[in-house]
Every structure is written in C-alpha cells, then in structure tokens.
Amino acid sequence: MKTPYYQYDLQLLRQTLDAATREANKYGYTLHYAVKANANPVILNEISSYGLGADCVSGNEISAALSGGFNPKGIVFAGVGKTDEEIELAIARGIYCIHCESVQELMTIQKIASAMQTTANVALRVNPNVDAHTHKHITTGTMANKFGLTVEEARRIIKNFDRYSNLNLFGLHFHIGSQITEMNVFEELAQRVNELQHDFYANGEPAYLNLGGGLGINYQNPDSELIPPFMNYFDVFARNLNRNSWQSIHFELGRSLVGQCGKLVTRVLYTKKMGSKNFAIVDAGMNALIRPALYGAYHRIVNTSTSSSKMERYEVVGPLCESTDILGTNVLMPVTQRNDVLEVLSCGAYAEAMSSRINLRDIPDYCFTNQLQEKTITKTGAPLQG
C-alpha cells in the first residue's frame, strides 16, 4: 500500500471496547463515543455494534454517526457554535439530547423547536471551573475558555425554565478537557458535580448527568498500556459521585477508545544532516498528523525497516512548507536510511480525523488489520502488502 497510510488494529479496538463496556456496565453507566476522535466509517460501524451512543459536535458528525449505525436515541450533540441548520437536523432526526452552551443558543433551540411544532431535549453544559492539568490547548473546563455556561447562568436558566415551553430539560453536561491522566482531576470533577446539582436543583437531582470524556492514553510507552485504565476511571466516579438510582449517568469517550488502535505508517524520503541535527524527512506531515505541530504533542516513532543496533537522534519532519511540520523531535532510532518505513504510534485518535489537504496533499489512505491478518479492509480496496 502506498505510504503514508493509517493502519488500524481491529482486534485491539474490540478488546478496548470490551474493556470499556465491561467496566461501565458494572455501574450502569451509559457510554457515547466522541465521533470527533475518529469518524472513519469502519470504526463507527464497529463501535455502534457494541451498542454505544455517539457524541457529536457538528451536523455532519450526526449524519456520519447515523450512517455508521448509531441509534439516534443514543446521540448527543455539543458545541459552542451550532448553526440553525444543525439544530434543525438534530431535532428532525430525533437525537437524544442537545447539550446547550449559551443563553442565546437555548433561545434559538426553543424558537426552532416551536417552529417545528415539537419539543427538543436539552441539557446544560456547565463550565465547572475545574483545571484538567492537561495541555492548555485541550483544557475546556475553566473560565479561561469558550465552552459551556457559567454556574450563575445555569442556575438562572434552571430557575426560569418555564419560559422554554418547547424544551425538556434533562439535566447537566460537563467536559473539562482531554488527555487527562491524573485520576484526582476526575475526582475533583465528581465532587464539583455533587455541589452543582445540589445547588441547581433544590427539589431533587436531574435525571441526566453527562460527565464528558477526557481519559488519557499512554503516548510514551503505548505497548505497556494498550488498553487505558477504564477500571480506575469509572471507579473514581462510582466512589465520588453522589447518585440516586434513578439518575442516568453518561460518559463521552473519544481518545481512550480509539487512540491506541491506530498507527501512521510513513516512508523516509531523505535523510540529511544540518549542523548537529539529523533530519529524517518522511512522506507524512501535519497533513496526516497535526498534533505535534498544534500542541507539541508527543508520539512514539519506530523504524520497522532496520535492525541496525547503531542508534542516532533524529528530527522526524514532514514534507510540507511549514517550519512546524514536525512529527517528532529528538527521536532515538537505529541509523535510518532513505526508504525505511517508520511507524508513528497511538494515531487512532485525532490523526485521520484532523487530516487536511494542506499543500494539496492527498488525505492518507487507511487499512484495517487484525492480529491474524486474516482480513484487511482498505478504503480503495487495494491489497495490503507486508
């Protein structure tokens, strides 16, 4: 297959889904897959077959989730900038719940639902002001960013909800950030949710609580932790969240479900030395994986072509005309040559989904394997070569 391409391990995806659903089922938690992590149609079909709902952040994601086999009654819809058309689509398709992020949005949903002579289900996305202790560009639950309603706004809306005659208020939604690896952050979130639901609902808690996603994965040593710590994650909520048996508790996992099942396979075009630096110039750049350029994110990179025991440090860079077009810096690899194949690990989430046609590059192809290599699926139907 022509490089660069994304290679997904279906068996690992299934093992991950098995683990996540098993741990969530212990507590009767409902899972939604955050489609924005990877909307590959094969992945959507696989995840919907496990009975998960979907968490969408655009109208096109709602359409993709429906095509991918998700039940509309399991779809939730978030985002700070929903257009009227997207809101109409969400209502027309009968999705489960719209997560509302501003007062103007709530008024808009009311107006649209009224014009459509129907009622829409909403929950309020509240910014709980909890610091996720993650990279500042993927923190969403503090006052320094654009997401959600303030606590004061949410309190006022709930008090005066009668005026929204075409809306059903299900409850509350929270999502504080991504790639969170410290469990005490989730503990803090659970405790904050306890306070807020008590504060907002004097006469009994809301029927619906959605705690968002954000569980991180191990980018440093993916092989040591291919399946994220779902047991600890859900256990933290089970121990810290005050919950009545009739409340339904939802989560929206993206990265942790798909992150480790994908890699980006790329070929070395050239190597060169400039000053003290060795460059390995590869055929995939920020068009295929933008996370290092966008957030300085780390991905493990391995050379699978050589067994040389002589090691060198490389800047692994893409072919694009941008100085930030770097996949890895200071990468320790065996001495690398033109035509060697490199694998960039942990590329199942936010890689293909954020790919672009910058410099008019093609969007990379993809293929699926399972461990036995008995079956492969490629976008173009091309056979997978070893």
Ligand X SMILES: *Cc1c(COP(=O)(O)O)cnc(C)c1O
Per CB under 6 A, does 254 bind ligand X?
Answer: yes
Q: Which of 214, 229, 262, 328 binds ligand X (CB under 6 A)?
A: 214
Contacting range for ligand X; rule: CB under 6 A; set: 32-40, 287-295, 338-346, 359-367: 32-40
Minimum CB distance to ligand X smaller for 206 or for 216: 216
Per CB under 6 A, does 268 bind ligand X?
Answer: no
- What is the residue-wise DSSP string for 242-262? ---TT-EEEEEESHHHHGGGE
Which strand (E) or helix (H) includes residue 111? Answer: helix 103-115
According to DSSP, the residues that pair with 280 across neighbouring strands are: 271, 316
What's the Cα-to-Cα distance from 259 to each of 63, 90, 316, 333, rounded to whole Å?
A: 22, 27, 21, 23
Per CB under 6 A, does 57 bind ligand X?
Answer: yes
Within residues 151-210, the interface with ligand X by CB under 6 A covers 175, 178
Alpha carbon distance 296, 290 (integer Å): 9
Alpha carbon distance 330, 91 (integer Å): 50
Least distance from ligand X to the Cβ atom of residue 76, Å: 8
Per CB under 6 A, does 36 bind ligand X?
Answer: yes
Contacting range for ligand X; rule: CB under 6 A; set: 2-10, 104-112, 247-255, 317-325: 247-255
Q: Which of 252, 283, 325, 340 binds ligand X (CB under 6 A)?
A: 252
Within residues 59-78, the interface with ligand X by CB under 6 A covers 78
Per CB under 6 A, does 262 bind ligand X?
Answer: no
Minimum CB distance to ligand X smaller for 36 or for 82: 36
How many chain residues interact with ligand X (CB under 6 A)? Answer: 17
Q: Which residue number is nearest to ligand X in terms of Cβ?
A: 254
Alpha carbon distance 267, 5 (integer Å): 10
Per CB under 6 A, does 55 bind ligand X?
Answer: yes
E strands along the chain, which residues?
5-9, 30-34, 53-56, 75-77, 97-100, 120-125, 167-173, 208-210, 248-253, 262-274, 277-282, 301-303, 311-317, 326-334, 341-344, 365-369, 377-378
Alpha carbon distance 355, 293 (integer Å): 12
Minimum CB distance to ligand X smaller for 82 or for 361: 82
Alpha carbon distance 130, 141 (integer Å): 6
Q: Which of 20, 31, 35, 37 binds ligand X (CB under 6 A)?
A: 37
Which residues contribute to the site for ligand X (CB under 6 A)? 34, 36-37, 55, 57, 78, 175, 178, 212-215, 252-256
